[in-house]
Amino acid sequence: MAETKPKTSPKAIKFLFGGLAGMGATVFVQPLDLVKNRMQLSGQGTKAREYKTSFHALFSILKNEGLGGIYTGLSAGLLRQATYTTTRLGIYTILFEKMTGADGRPPNFLLKALIGMTAGATGAFVGTPAEVALIRMTADGRLPADQRRGYTNVFNALARITREEGLTTLWRGCVPTMARAVVVNAAQLASYSQSKQALLDSGQDHTLRAKC
């Protein structure tokens, strides 16, 4: 009896789930991202260093800004994942399938890495405006009250940055952001695909295919 090929979800659904998974993770890591950004900016200019440790930073933010303060910039974090994660996974999957041979042989590891680099760079470029908004929104609370930008959400931030500073400001820092994404995705996506292929070749294909 011929083996029935297991059904898989449409590509659009996979991309959607990938983006939603990244957005879900952001809800949990946003407070840590906020603390990281505040600590990196601590002591900027002539100001004394504000935070001694990560816990000190977290408790100081909670004390001064309340529980909602640790989720400042959440909308920007969610938009970043919706743009960056969805784009990089989508580009990687599309290019991976185009580079797969007619006999079903997947691209070699070097080609996988190059595909990952392309996907990472593209995703980072698309996601940089949200990244700029995220950094500004998370840093706003440490400024004196009369100097705060007071963005209400990520869309307000993007609109005001464009209106007050020009469209190109949304891509400030784009080159190092893309460079970081190139390295991360070349290692992450290529390693994942190579490990998956090794397991498939070892005879675990029925289990893996059922999960993919």
Which domain range does residue 105 map to? 73-197
Q: Across 62-107, where does the E strand assignment appear? A: none
107 belongs to a structural domain: yes
131 belongs to a structural domain: yes
206 belongs to a structural domain: no
**Pairwise CA distance, residues 180 & 190, whole Å:** 15
- pLDDT of 152 higher than 60: yes
- pLDDT of 44 higher than 70: no
Model pLDDT for residues 54-102, shown as the tens digit of each residue: 888 889 889 888 888 889 999 999 999 999 999 998 899 889 888 888 8
Can you list the pairs that 47-56 forms with residues at least 24 positions away whose Cβ atoms lie under 8 Å? 50/142
From 83, 111, 79, select the one nearest 98 (Cα to Cα). 111
Low-confidence winner among 3-17, 58-72, 116-130, 167-181 (lowest mean pLDDT) = 3-17
**Pairwise CA distance, residues 41 & 69, whole Å:** 17
pLDDT at position 144, please? Answer: 78
SS3 call for 143: coil
pLDDT band at residue 8, thresholds of 50, 70 and 90? Answer: low
pLDDT at position 45, please? Answer: 60
**Pairwise CA distance, residues 161 & 155, whole Å:** 10
22 belongs to a structural domain: no
80 belongs to a structural domain: yes
86 belongs to a structural domain: yes
Model pLDDT for residues 47-57, shown as the tens digit of each residue: 667 788 888 88
Q: How far is the CA of 59 from the CAs of 115, 150, 172, in angstroms?
A: 42, 22, 31
Total domain count, the chain: 1
126 belongs to a structural domain: yes
DSSP one-letter string for 24-65: HHHHHHHHHHHHHHHHHHTT-TTPPP--SSHHHHHHHHHHHH
117 belongs to a structural domain: yes
The CATH number of whichever domain residue 88 belongs to comes to 1.50.40.10
